[in-house]
Amino acid sequence: MPGVTPAEVLSNFGITLVEDPAENQPRLLVDLPAAELVEHAIRRNEGRMASNGALVIETGERTGRSPNDRFIVDTPDVHDKIAWGAVNRPLSVESYEVIKAGIVDYLNERDVFVTRGMAGADRNHTRRLLVACERASQA
């Protein structure tokens, strides 16, 4: 959606942060340069600098994917297109809405880092992405 701002995209989901809020209010931080993201990450105790200048993040016990925690909202338009089972587990629309509301409330109380990017090496199949996360180190 060319011309649509990240704030407009996020507002469609209920996230109402702005890039220039009143003092001490959560902010929407969009497309910060890598050096600035590293500064935020260090200031927020998300990681530390290695001797070679790389940002080091300790992931703790959760270091990979959670294959048993994959849920897909089961709606009539996707129901017959999904291979349901141990990997793809159905989630009701009502449960999704409860989870989404909790996430929106959570993010509306924090700084949110947004990175716009693209995935795919072949321009004919490239997809634009907008990634919103609560940590500078994730952005």
The percentage of the chain sitting over the pLDDT mark of 70, rounded to a whole number, equals: 97
Average of per-residue pLDDT across 116-121: 92
What is the number of other CB atoms lying within 10 angstroms of the CB of residue 138?
A: 14
What is the number of other CB atoms lying within 10 angstroms of the CB of residue 6?
A: 21
CATH number of 6-33+66-133: 3.40.449.10
Residue 42 in tokens: 């260090």
- CA-closest candidate to residue 31, choices 61, 58, 65, 5: 5
DSSP H/E element including 34: helix 34-43
**pLDDT higher than 80, residue 135:** yes
Residue at token pair 């790389």? 54
- Ordered by start, the domain boundaries in the chain are 6-33+66-133
Query: 19 or 136, which is more confident?
Result: 136
The pTM of the whole model exceeds 0.75: yes
CA 16 to chain centre: 15
For residue 41, give every residue at least 6 positions away whose Cβ sits within 8 Å of its Cβ, in sequence order, or none: 47, 55, 57, 135, 136, 137
What is the number of other CB atoms lying within 10 angstroms of the CB of residue 86?
A: 8
**pLDDT higher than 60, residue 133:** yes
Average pLDDT, the chain: 91
**pLDDT higher than 80, residue 31:** yes
Per-residue pLDDT at 127: 93
What is the number of other CB atoms lying within 10 angstroms of the CB of residue 37?
A: 21
Query: 110 or 20, which is more confident?
Result: 110
**pLDDT higher than 70, residue 30:** yes
> What's the pLDDT tens digit per position in 60-111?
877 677 777 889 999 999 999 999 998 899 999 999 999 999 999 999 999 9
Per-residue pLDDT at 3: 79
What length does the chain have? 139
